[in-house]
Structure 1
Amino acid sequence: MMLLTSLDNPPLRRSQAKHRPAGAGRHAMRAATLLLLAGALATPPALAPFAFAPLAGAQESGRRNPTVIRDAEIENLLRDYMRPIWKAAGLTQQNLRVVIISDPSFNAFVMDGKRIFVNTGALASSETPNEIIGVLAHETGHIAGGHLARMRQEMENAQTMAIIGTLLAAGGVAAGAAGGANMGGAAAALAGPQEIARRSVLSYARAQEQAADRSAISYLAATKQSPVGMLKTFERMQNDQIFISQRVDPYVLSHPMARERVAALEDLVAKSPYRDIKDSPELQARHEMMRAKLVGFSMPPDAVARRYPPSNTSLPARYARAISAYRYGAVPDAIRQIDALIAVQPNNPYFHELKGQALLEAGRPREAIAPLRRAEQLSGGAPLIRTLLGQALVAANDKSSVDDAVRELTFGVQREPESAAAWRFLAQAYGQKGDLPNADLASAQSALLSGDVQLARELAARARQTFAYGSPGWLKADDIVNVKPPKKKPGRPTP
């Protein structure tokens, strides 16, 4: 099941200070304040998360609300890729996960110590598992090295240095203003500390990128994997930079130029005893199925046909065409193609899942239940598949299966508590069962996760009235009732 959802980034906080200087330095201090505010508002995107791509900021087109893809098959594959790497990095106890972002560009980045974000473009364009493993190993290096926390501290230090430097410069400007000095030179003097601080932070970021590269190589060596895929990725970036490298100042980038990274990696790769190790055929086959799935879900039929023409009878090609057929309304033809896939691999849970999803979205939920039950069995109870099964049971609106729906969806929200859709389906299941207090409580959870705090509190208050005082349901409802709405985002400061 491939789902799209939105991931909201928390708003950036900007402190504002009011200055009321008097006397001859009034205009100079106002100029200093203007520059400080401009510096705070013009922080380059590269200073935010650690991104793998050297010239692309982290999700420039979707920075505020990036679209997240949830898919049991792809997530399971990425966990298998990263489990050895995370063990080598000593991070097995941190419950790391890879989050998939719907974006065609080749990029991966980290924004906290729990999640690695990777674009669908990176997954779809990587030709081997080794290539994407190298990318994610690099991001793991950032987490293991504590680079995010250290970068925040470095930025705070740089901001302090800039403020001190600006204030010192402002004193000189004030004296110059009293004596009729040129204000253009004064502005340049005030801007200097900001630029020095910015370059200091960028230099620090480049050093951490190089450290993450070295860490990635060490993780690959510890897991007896080749670093060639990682090198190949940087070589691709180097080729992309050929036409722009002459116009880029390397000292204003948060990442080293690709040519520098390639040169550093070539020596390490040559020394690796595992450089000639290839990915296993089984892992390569799963990788090709992932790429086909992404193409089938993300591209229009004509693009899918060009990528996987009918003459291509490989399993990935057939997978992509079956997905495309179901997405664009040819459900009978899609079911025929999916059944042919199942005939080849009857124990592949994701083929059964795809059939169930196609039938459910075609308005045939009763028919979707059997393949989804089979997918659940074959996947060992994957939470996303169990949630989809619960959704089909709710849509079937059969009183004899409502308890099954509640059970499947309860499991789903226990494993995926941040899924607003799963809570919504659970509320429907409770409604069909006639359990209105739990229906209200589940609806409140869904509303809260969707950002509608007022509605969540109203639903929780109604649920709280019907639960016994102090019971688990009452406590959960009371927690939601007492949630404080988020503060209104501050507007752009006006000097």
Structure 2
Amino acid sequence: MALRFPGLSTARAALKRATLTLVALSIAVAPVSAQGGPRGLPTIRDAEIEGLLRDYMAPIFRAAGINEGVVEITLINSREFNAFVADGRRIFVNVGVLMDAKTPNEVIGVLAHETGHIVGGHLARLRQRLDGAQTMSIVAMLLGVGAVAGAMAGGSGSAGQAAAGAIMAPQEAIRRSLLSYQRGEEMAADRAAVGYLNKSGQSAKGMLTTFKRFADQVAFSKRYIDPYAQSHPMPSDRISNLQELAEKSPYYNKLDPPALQARHDLMRAKLVGFVEAGDGVTRRYPMSDQSLPAKYARAIAAYRYGALDGAIGQIDGLIAAQPNNPWFHELKGQAYLENGKPGLAVPALKRALALAPNAQLVRTMLGQALATGSGPKNADAAIAELTRATARDTKNPEAYRQLAIAFARKGQIPQADLASAQAAFAEGDYPTARQLAERAKKGLKQGTPNWLKADDIATYKPQKLN
């Protein structure tokens, strides 16, 4: 005969609730997939913006002792002002940061802060803290379950309810302890960021501008906010802790170079043109604004929402103003390509690539334009461009997809299957990638480089991150 505890079902329910609380906390800080970025996040790619962010980060990385190319920056298509580190190799930045920041220095301050997290190993230490929190939680829950069971067995309903409440109390204490730890790490990253900015001869004023913006946003609701239940320090606390340190720097009043500010303004205009609706673009950049960024945003909106001929006229005006700006030529090619005129897109994209030969996303678009055209010569040229693009940017699923199309047009189905497998793999869709790779292997000669690539994908097993 098994021992029976009348209140055990209540205890199990409380244990389940407590466990779910712990699991939710663990998920909130879990590292993302090791390949291809987090699936489901609305990431975007753009050669102009990625190049500008690399230029922003180069002096920060040098100051922090990080080798170029070790840390990647991924853009998230979200208007919220947010950036975060997912592991020791990737910084994720919402486009809202870029659209709202009026100067490069504001963005650089945000990126310097995230670099502080990477150098400080904060995510790894937080996982260790979570491991410790899990142990403490399990012990607390087991003690609470025992109290519930004992109270229920003794017929004391009120005592049982009190004991059930005691199960959740340690969870809240542990949660607040972890949040306190996170706030400490945030402050450490802030101080590290100021150090990187000083070492690279840049101002920390942009960081303070960002914190002041946050302070203004939360000022009206501050009385409803529990500062001890936040993962970040209150903006006013961050300002008071950093202002004196920042103002002591000889670079505090140093402005961004005019050329960098000009690139920043064009980048913001580009994002507005692509992210905002047509009326949103005109509100932000009315016709009375005849600056180059305003014309850039309106030209993008024109090709997206208006007649192609009028849009091309506006883009040609941009090119006349800056003939050697590769991104204006890229925009012209993109406008033609997305309006079903790949033949007209090719010359513009070739010109863009000649001006920015390392822009593999432009090369991908050129390959797409060539693959869309007719004739075997176009297919061969597309394969050459897309093969080069994927060799230099292995995490570009669109390039692999276009390569698959080009191979299929030539009837080279095993190569098309391999390229499709590589596209799925780059996106983190491993089941689909393995299925396509197995199919590709059947048509490829065993032992050849392509067969080995397919075999690597077919036998790949994602590593579990601790």
TM (norm. structure 1) is: 0.86
Match for residue 104 of structure 1 among 79, 83, 101: 79
- Residue 36 of structure 1 corresponds to which residue in structure 2? 18
Q: Deviations over 1:375-421 (max 9, x none)?
A: 00101231111111111111112322322211110111122223222
Residues 417-426 or 217-226, more deviating: 417-426
- Residue 131 of structure 2 corresponds to which residue in structure 1? 156
Aligned positions of 1:62-461 closer than 5 A = 65-92=40-67, 95-181=70-156, 182=158, 183-449=160-426, 456-461=433-438
Shift of 1:291: 0.5
Shift of 1:427: 1.5
Residues 450-459 or 403-412, more deviating: 450-459
Shift of 1:107: 0.8
Residues 30-39 or 189-198, more deviating: 30-39
**Unaligned runs of at least 5 residues, structure 2:** 33-37
- Residue 443 of structure 2 corresponds to which residue in structure 1? 466
Q: Give the conservation status (yes or no) of the 8 Å contact 1:234–1:261.
A: yes
Q: Deviations over 1:26-60 (max 9, x none)?
A: 3574255234323235439865689xxxxxxxxxx
Give the partner amino acid of 2:63: A
- Residue 8 of structure 2 corresponds to which residue in structure 1? 26
Give the partner amino acid of 2:56: Y
Shift of 1:428: 1.8
Q: Quote the Cα distance in structure 2 between the aligned partners of 1:393 and 1:24.
A: 74
Q: Quote the Cα distance in structure 2 between the aligned partners of 1:274 and 1:341.
A: 35
- Residue 35 of structure 2 corresponds to which residue in structure 1? none
Give the partner amino acid of 1:337: Q
Give the partner amino acid of 1:251: Y
Shift of 1:223: 0.6
Q: Quote the Cα distance in structure 1 between the aligned partners of 2:268 and 2:94.
A: 12
Distance 1:24 1:284, change over 3 A: same
Q: Quote the Cα distance in structure 2 between the aligned partners of 1:93 and 1:381.
A: 15
Shift of 1:486: 12
Q: Deviations over 1:345-371 (max 9, x none)?
A: 110000000000001111110111111
Q: Deviations over 1:416-456 (max 9, x none)?
A: 22322211211122233343332232123234445665654
Q: Give the conservation status (yes or no) of the 8 Å contact 1:36–1:163.
A: no
Query: Aligned to 1:98, what secondary structure does the other structure show?
Result: strand
Q: Quote the Cα distance in structure 1 between the aligned partners of 2:299 and 2:183.
A: 44
Q: Give the conservation status (yes or no) of the 8 Å contact 1:221–1:272.
A: yes
Query: Aligned to 1:118, what secondary structure does the other structure show?
Result: strand
Give the helix-richer structure, 1 or 2: 2
Give the partner amino acid of 1:78: L
Distance 1:451 1:254, change over 3 A: closer
**Unaligned runs of at least 5 residues, structure 1:** 1-19, 51-62, 488-495
Q: Deviations over 1:118-174 (max 9, x none)?
A: 111110110100011101111111111000100011011111112112222333334
Shift of 1:236: 0.6
**Coordinate RMSD, CA, aligned:** 2.5
Distance 1:331 1:485, change over 3 A: same
Q: Quote the Cα distance in structure 2 between the aligned partners of 1:172 and 1:463.
A: 60
Q: Quote the Cα distance in structure 1 between the aligned partners of 2:4 and 2:180.
A: 38
Distance 1:357 1:196, change over 3 A: same
Q: Quote the Cα distance in structure 2 between the aligned partners of 1:461 and 1:31.
A: 46
Q: Quote the Cα distance in structure 2 between the aligned partners of 1:283 and 1:78.
A: 11
Query: Aligned to 2:74, what secondary structure does the other structure show?
Result: strand
Query: Aligned to 2:8, what secondary structure does the other structure show?
Result: helix
TM (norm. structure 2) is: 0.92
Q: Quote the Cα distance in structure 2 between the aligned partners of 1:227 and 1:457.
A: 48
